[in-house]
């Protein structure tokens, strides 16, 4: 993936910095948040959490009204580490007509919030096609961290049957590739999207959609995903991989 993707994360405290108190106790709803990490020079604020983990589990929350009425609600997600501690909370921000008219192809803004209540990552997906018949208008997602500062993009690559994507940096330089299986030919099992180096010879990570059972798959659209990446992957590229998961 080149040197860009595997920069070691800088450590240490800037002068006069006092680490915030650890907040790993359960909240009123029983959620245990990941302890607040120390500030890191040259790291976008709020992404310090990503320097300490090599795996993120994304659980979509069930919306009772959506199950009963079929009326599409804004999606909400918990992002957890391997210990089950919440790292971030993500919430979709779209209007009612867009959600229910455009379905899975809808444009959206996704706001990702840390345990201090700060919006640390913003994902923006414009309205695009996703069919193989429209190679000139494929899916794309912009990742901002913090909001207003672009750190990368995820763009869909045209293929007649396979889901393929490219991860780009803020300058639109290709960094990583994502190759998925023929999804509609996979049933009753996890679906894996392999994250590869730019020349597609070296595996870098994986984005997996977890099979949740027949009942849940048939009667709800809630998804569970897992993302794995090297611990020393550039923190901005980790954030873009989170965006890739939401685009997928």
Does residue 73 or residue 76 have the better pLDDT? 76
- Residue 105: other Cβ atoms inside 10 A: 13
In the chain, the DSSP E strands lie at: 55-60, 76-80, 86-93, 108-113, 119-125, 140-144, 150-157, 164-169, 174-179, 191-197, 203-209, 224-228
pLDDT band at 50 (very low <50, low <70, confident <90, very high): very high
Within a domain: residue 124? yes
Lowest mean pLDDT: which of 66-70, 87-91, 173-177? Answer: 66-70
Does residue 157 or residue 67 have the better pLDDT? 157
What's the rounded Cα separation, in Å, for the pair 142 and 140?
A: 7
pLDDT in the model for residue 69: 46
Does residue 107 or residue 226 have the better pLDDT? 226
Within a domain: residue 103? yes
pLDDT in the model for residue 83: 93
Lowest mean pLDDT: which of 40-44, 91-95, 147-151? Answer: 91-95
Within a domain: residue 104? yes
Domain count across the chain: 1
Within a domain: residue 102? yes
pLDDT in the model for residue 138: 85
pLDDT in the model for residue 240: 98
Range(s) of the domain holding residue 213: 48-247
Domain with residue 114: its CATH number is: 2.40.160
Within a domain: residue 224? yes
Within a domain: residue 23? no
Assess whether pLDDT exceeds 80 at residue 145: yes
> 195-222, pLDDT tens digit by residue?
999 999 999 999 998 865 544 444 445 5
- Any long-range contacts for 94-101 (C-beta under 8 Å, 24+ apart)? 99/72, 99/73, 99/74, 100/71, 100/72
Within a domain: residue 27? no
Within a domain: residue 37? no
SS (H, E, C) 137-171: CCCEEEEECCCCCEEEEEEEECCCCCCEEEEEECC
């Amino acid at each position: 993936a080149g040197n860009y993707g595997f920069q070691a994360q800088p450590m240490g405290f800037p002068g006069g910095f006092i680490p915030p108190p650890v907040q790993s106790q359960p909240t009123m709803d029983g959620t245990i948040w990941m302890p607040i990490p120390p500030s890191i020079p040259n790291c976008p604020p709020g992404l310090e959490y990503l320097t300490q983990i090599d795996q993120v589990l994304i659980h979509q929350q069930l919306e009772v009204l959506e199950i009963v009425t079929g009326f599409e609600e804004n999606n909400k997600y918990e992002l957890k580490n391997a210990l089950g501690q919440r790292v971030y909370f993500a919430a979709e921000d779209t209007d009612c007509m867009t959600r229910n008219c455009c379905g899975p192809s809808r444009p959206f803004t996704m706001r990702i919030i840390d345990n201090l209540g700060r919006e640390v990552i913003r994902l923006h997906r414009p309205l695009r096609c996703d069919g193989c018949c429209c190679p000139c208008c494929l899916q794309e997602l912009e990742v901002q961290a913090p909001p207003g500062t672009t750190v990368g993009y995820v763009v869909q690559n045209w293929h007649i049957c396979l889901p393929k994507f490219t991860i780009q940096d803020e300058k639109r330089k290709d960094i990583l590739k994502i190759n998925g299986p023929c999804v509609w030919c996979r049933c009753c099992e996890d679906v894996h999207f392999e994250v590869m180096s730019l020349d597609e010879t070296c595996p870098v990570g994986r984005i997996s959609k977890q099979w949740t059972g027949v009942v849940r798959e048939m009667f709800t659209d809630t998804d569970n995903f897992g993302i794995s990446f090297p611990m020393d992957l550039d923190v901005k590229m980790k954030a873009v991989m989170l965006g890739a998961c939401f685009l997928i």
